[in-house]
Amino acid sequence: MSINIGKIQMPLGIMLAPMAGYTDRAMRLVCHEYGCEYSVTEMVSAKAVVFNDKKTFSLAKILPDEGPVAIQIFGSEPEVMAEAASRLENPEVGASPVAIDINMGCPVHKIFSNGEGSALMRSPELIEKIVSSVKSAVSIPVTVKLRSGIDSSSINAVECALAAEAGGASMVCLHGRTRVQMYGGKSDREIIKNVKNCLHIPLIANGDIVSGDDALSMLRDTGADGIAIGRGAVGNPFIFSEICAKLTGKDGIAVSLSERASTALYQLKTAISDKGEGVAVNEARKQISFYLKGFRGAAALRQKINTSTTYAEVERAFAEALAES
């Protein structure tokens, strides 16, 4: 199993799925260090890129010390999407992306109600136009993120994936839930399998992968070319080393509490260098809480971290917890 598309090189087919509010450079960097082969930025608005919004460009910034990273854009107008992709391919600051990923799966109401994200799955014809327009505007691969459909009565992932392929997409990542399901229920592997059987381009399977065994069973059940880990990697970049071990027939290595703490602090320190201490500490709380698995008195530690405002306070909280564990 290997995916090689331009500069997207995934010998094991393991990627970090894009997640708004989570997959910033700090998280991407840590996940790559533990075995993630390819990652995608948080989604950025194509319109905001065209209007030169500085905050949007900061979300899309990639640095040379990262592994292969794609930039994900969202929107619904083919011409605007193409213009945004063209501007992002060769940024004035930072490294160039290895691909442009198009979000056609976001279920959030604000995005959906604007006819963007998963709302695009209402019109496979528009999907093909958008992909074709973006493809003609850049020299790097164009990929697409989809869901199984809008709801249980409109499961059309096969039709939408084929439209993306017809438009020139080099790869599709499919989350096996509908838009209505959001992140509840179970990811439908049968739908992922059906899409895989219809495509001539690589398919990445996404949904409910929180362990090495989940990764193996997903690949076995769907025949997918690779897997994307989303929520399972939040506060748990170690899942990538676990999956790498499983896929290569090796024994995984248990993660110590000290390694969990040092990795959380490293991720926070990286975020601080990008965003400043106040913003980074505030944003990091939701991720750090997931790093606390196995700590004695995790609830009390979580409370300390949730009220911390500086790196030093977070570091001290971990040091105290380690001394008690």
Cβ atoms of 232 and 218 within 8 Å: the answer is no
Q: Which two tokens stand for residue 23?
A: 């997959």
185 pLDDT above the threshold of 80 = yes
Give the domains, in start order, of the chain with CATH numbers.
3-247 (3.20.20.70), 257-324 (1.10.1200)
List Cβ<8 Å contacts ≥24 apart for 266-274: 266/30, 267/26, 267/27, 267/29, 267/30, 267/237, 268/26, 268/311, 268/314, 269/311, 270/25, 270/26, 270/29, 270/30, 271/24, 271/25, 271/26, 272/311, 274/24, 274/25, 274/26
Q: Would you state the pLDDT for residue 293?
A: 86
Please tell me the predicted confidence (pLDDT) of residue 251.
Answer: 83
Residue 124 pLDDT exceeds 90: yes
pLDDT in tens, 1-13: 689 999 999 999 9
CA distance 304 to 41: 29
- Mean pLDDT, range 71-93, rounded to an integer: 95
Across the range 41-46, mean pLDDT stands at 96
Residues 214-257 have pLDDT tens digits of: 999 999 999 999 999 999 999 999 999 999 999 999 888 889 99
pLDDT, position 100? 98
Catalytic entry in 31, 36, 106, 244? 106
For residue 252, the model assigns a pLDDT of 81
Fill in the DSSP letter of residue 98. S
Q: What pLDDT score does 135 carry? A: 98
- What pLDDT score was predicted for residue 325? 72
Listing DSSP states for 111-178 in one string gives HHHTT-GGGGGG-HHHHHHHHHHHHHH-SS-EEEEEEEESSTT-B-HHHHHHHHHHHT-SEEEEEEEE
- 173 included as an active-site residue: no
Residue 203 reports pLDDT greater than 90: yes
The mean of the pLDDT values for the chain is 95
Rg (CA), the chain: 19
Q: What is the pTM of this model?
A: 0.94
Which is nearest to 240 in space by CA: 89, 36, 64, 80? 36
> pLDDT at position 91, please?
87
pLDDT exceeds 90 at position 139: yes
Residue 127's pLDDT band, with cuts at 50, 70 and 90, is very high
